[in-house]
Structure 1
Amino acid sequence: MIKDDIIAFGNHNWLILEWDDNRKLVITKDIIELRWYHTEFVDVTWPESEIRKYLNTDFYDMFNQHEKEKIIPVVNRNPDNPWFGTKGGADTMDKIFLLSLEEVCRYFGDSGKKLLNRDGQKWHIEDENNRKRQAVYNNKPQWWRLRSPSYYSRTSASISSNGNVYVRGNGVHGSPKDGGGVRPAMWLTLEV
């Protein structure tokens, strides 16, 4: 197996983003559900968000015991938004998480160069990597959420249905009405 291979794990297919000697980073190949980032339209960061709680409890509990033993808890950095300075929150220990702005650029293209340079760009990064970042829900293109903050603390960064990195983001609750796509990510051990 190598980067960009698809593996089955639990009830989903997962895309391999990174592979080293004893672990691999995976993200669901497709959007698995639509869900709000939080339960109400308030200032919130990833550490306090309802979606983080859900992924690390209810979603995690969908795996059997053997699968749970393969999931590696990791410390996630939650940097401030590089365009607007919106606070990202404290580092978190997560079993399952959403990618950050920096991670989506690292693993799906851009290497962060455009992420750090907003000159001439209007709220989003549109480039030759759009196709790699696109995802579907029920066989139709759909936007999906990142854990990073966006324009202000009531919005989270996202990837648009056509693959743009939407640095300005979408509301944590209430708008747009569909809540946003969820593509969980996690590190898996190769040793169990």
Structure 2
Amino acid sequence: MSEFHIGSVVTFGGYLWRILDLQPGAALMITEHIIEQHSYHNCAGDVTWADCSLRKYLNGEFYNKFTPAEQLRIVPVLNNNPDNSWYGSRGGEDTQDFIFLLSIEEAVCKYFGDSRQNLENRSAKQRYWFQKKDENNDKRKSTLDGHGWWWWLRSPGRDNRRAVYIHGDGNVGIQGNGTFRYNSINVHPSTGNNKGGVRPALWLSL
């Protein structure tokens, strides 16, 4: 399939997807834009990716929006879920997912340029934000209905009541936002709510 190369945008299941990686017979893809807003979890308290309601939604209701033929092309993957390297909060057990969110390591070190130097060398002044002047911030920006908005990663924030996210300017909120209630009074101009954006990722059989 000649249209499948890293960085290309393809259509699958009615969505636009950007190719992040290619392996023999399969492509890793993430939606080109934020496709909806969703809570990371449906109640207050500690949670990891393995048990959150957003994972259940993506691998259930969202997955079932694809046709049977499309579902056969979505490759289940075993995801490792590391602890937050700045705060030590638990990443939780490994998960087998059809649909998933990127981890902080994937978003920072692999698929939107390599900013591992900033991740691995936290300065004394960095408490909540990753690096506002990181050269790869522009690559992580995304929009919902044409407006810049923040989107979830699956990694835990500074504790397990928060999850890491990508700010509207592409910066990494490594301290995290509340998995059930959010630390922002800003609302999206077209939806009227402040929930985090969702950019699903999946491996597609070629």
TM bin (shorter chain): over 0.9
Task: Find out whether 1:55 has 2:58 as its counterpart.
Answer: yes
Picking from 81, 92, 113, the partner of 1:109 is 113
Secondary structure of the corresponding residue to residue 42 of structure 2: coil
Secondary structure of the corresponding residue to residue 117 of structure 2: coil
- The Cα offsets for residues 109-166 of structure 1, whole Å up to 9 and x where unpaired, read as 2342211221143422230111100000010000000000011100000000000011
After TM superposition, the runs of 4+ consecutive aligned structure 1 residues lying more than 3 A away are none
Asked if the contact 1:35–1:178 (Cα under 8 Å) also holds between the matched residues in 2, the reply is: no
Task: Find out whether 1:2 has 2:42 as its counterpart.
Answer: no
Task: Give the direction of change, closer, same or farther, for the CA distance of 1:63–1:18 in structure 2 (3 Å limit).
Answer: same
- The Cα offsets for residues 55-84 of structure 1, whole Å up to 9 and x where unpaired, read as 000000000011101100000000000100
Q: Tell me, which stretches of 5 or more residues in structure 1 are unaligned?
A: none
CA distance in 2 between counterparts of 1:109 and 1:164 reads 13
Picking from 177, 195, 198, the partner of 1:179 is 195
CA distance in 1 between counterparts of 2:114 and 2:44 reads 31
Q: Which amino acid aligns with 2:113?
A: G
Length, aligned pairs only: 190
Using structure 2 for the length normalisation, give the TM-score.
0.89
Task: Find out whether 1:44 has 2:47 as its counterpart.
Answer: yes
C-alpha RMSD over aligned residues: 1.1
Q: Tell me, which stretches of 5 or more residues in structure 2 are unaligned?
A: 185-192
Asked if the contact 1:173–1:179 (Cα under 8 Å) also holds between the matched residues in 2, the reply is: no
Pairing 1:1-150 to 2, within 5 Å after superposition:
1-105=4-108, 106-119=110-123, 120-125=125-130, 126=132, 127-150=134-157
Picking from 132, 152, 159, the partner of 1:152 is 159
* Seq. identity, %: 45
